[in-house]
Amino acid sequence: MNIKPLADRVVIKMQEAEETTKSGIVLAGSAKEKPQIAEIVAVGPGGYVDGKEIKMHVKEGDKVLTSKYAGTEVKIDGNEYTILRQDDIPVSYTHLTLPTKRIV
């Protein structure tokens, strides 16, 4: 992928969260909630936005949690990505394993 976001923009690829019921039934994609876990695939250079200097605190390869409906979804070369501002990423982590969400 050859995307270069501008200013304080970040391109992320959402991770598919497998959801299962207590009995072990895997739910279809249409029954799942929108995932909030993503990996950063491209980061803008930062710079000045509205007269304020923006330093980028995330880098390619970081895992992040995002707001459910943040950003703009795009499809490039058959892959789905989301472009959003760094401000829309409340949490970045590197060595955290999140459990699979279970539905009661």
Q: CA–CA separation, 17 vs 29, rounded Å? A: 10
What is the reported pLDDT for 72? 95
What is the reported pLDDT for 30? 56
Q: Taken in order 50, 55, 56, 57, is the CA torsion positive or negative?
A: negative
Q: Which two tokens stand for residue 96?
A: 């955290």
What is the reported pLDDT for 68? 81
Q: Check residue 3 and give left, alpha or beta (phi > 0: left; psi -120 to 50: alpha).
A: beta
What is the reported pLDDT for 58? 93
What is the reported pLDDT for 32? 58
Consecutive sets of 10 residues in the chain, 104 residues long: mean pLDDT of each? 90 80 69 76 92 93 89 93 94 66 57
